[in-house]
Amino acid sequence: MTDFNSLIILLIAAGLDYLIGDPQNWLHPVQVMGWVITHYTQIFFKHLNQPRILRVAGVFLTLIVVLGSALTTALIGYGVQALVVQFPWNPILSITVESLLLASCFAGRSLRDAAEDVLYWIDQGDLVTARQRLSCYVGRDTETLSESEILRAVLETVTENATDGVMAPLFYALIGAVLPGIGSVPLAFAYKATSTLDSMVGYREAPYKDMGWFSAKLDDVLTWLPCRLTVITIAILSGKPKYVLNICQRDAVFDPSPNAGWSECAYAAALGVQLGGENSYRGVIKHKPLLGDPQQPITSTTIEHALQLTRSCFLIELGLFTVGFILWHLGN
């Protein structure tokens, strides 16, 4: 595959995510990852649930899912390329397959659709349905949330997942595009697998504390740099970079996550709202650190602005890479 094919794949995948997202009736790669993770953990929880064994099993689970995802997609790419060699009359086959695979790693459209799904019912004045729809996207209890709490939950979901669902997969896809013999798809899938593991087993509480420790640490490490790049980009786009970065340094350091708090805080500061506070999970009240200053209330418009910020960050990173990629090759 030529270098410019790698760029074409990136651009097509970005376009597919923006225009189509994840078709509901298609088998998504994350579903396959989830099936593997669920069955693997069930075996150990049922038969070998000693903490030390679970910690070792967590390491192997991470290696199996992350390396398996990268290797599987790499083999698919090589197989399709070999098929193209045999049947040169269809040179776009490889680009099509890899573009579809890569598009499944980006969650920009999915985040937007989820937010708009809940906002629609709020705009209709139907908080009961809004709470029900929100429960499909967040882990907190939603049955008694007020309108302002629903809006905060949506904004926190949009801003937290902007990094691990949109910007970090793009970051690793861009790195893969310039690594000889690697490509965007395997590296993006490796990160997607790590993020999926973290969301499924990367909890600090039982029964996942021991099984998920390694995947949680790996996700923290892999997300750290793309998160900081996203924070800096948001700060610049806000027009008040010093203020946004100061607020992040003031508040984000108190969040237990080394990345989620920074991502949410950057959006909160840029939008002039406050995130965090009291949430209920299965009847247990948990307090998250307050992020940002409540200069104005969270509204549907606030969430739309957050989605636009994410889209702008994505396009800026992809655009800068595209320009640099073209200039580099023209100069060589």
* pLDDT digit string, tens, across residues 13-26: 999 999 998 877 77
**Region 138-155 average pLDDT:** 95
Cα dist. 13→41, 104, 137 in Å? 32, 8, 24
Cα–Cα distance list, 75 to 38, 172, 279, 297 (Å) = 24, 18, 44, 49
Instruction: Work out whether the CA dihedral 307, 33, 104, 113 comes out positive or negative.
Output: negative
205, pLDDT greater than 90: no
Domains of the chain by residue range: 3-324
DSSP label at residue 252: G
pLDDT greater than 70 at residue 1: no
Give me the pLDDT at residue 80, please: 82
How much is the pLDDT for 25?
77
For the ranges 35-44, 146-155, 224-233, 312-321, which has the lowest average pLDDT? 35-44
For residue 205, how many C-alpha atoms fall within 13 Å in the half-sphere facing its CB? Answer: 4
For 26-79, how does the pLDDT look when each residue is reduced to its tens digit (9 = 90+)? 788 899 999 999 999 998 888 888 889 999 999 999 999 999 999 999 999 888
For tokens 């882990």, what's the residue? 139
Angle at 116 between CA 284 and CA 257, to 5 degrees: 40
Instruction: Tell me which residue of 28, 295, 302, 256 sits closest to 159, measured CA to CA.
Output: 302
Which pLDDT value is given to residue 49?
A: 80
- CA-to-CA dists, residue 5 to 75, 88, 95, 108, angstroms: 17, 15, 7, 23
Question: Which pLDDT score, from 0 to 100, does residue 88 have?
Answer: 59
* Single-letter residue type at 31: Q
Its pTM stands at 0.93
Residue-wise pLDDT tens digits, 79-128: 887 776 666 556 688 889 999 999 999 999 999 999 999 999 999 999 99
Residue predicted with more confidence, 182 or 233: 233
Amino acid 78 reads Y
What local confidence, expressed as pLDDT, does residue 115 receive?
97
Q: Could you give the 3-state DSSP secondary structure of residue 317?
A: helix
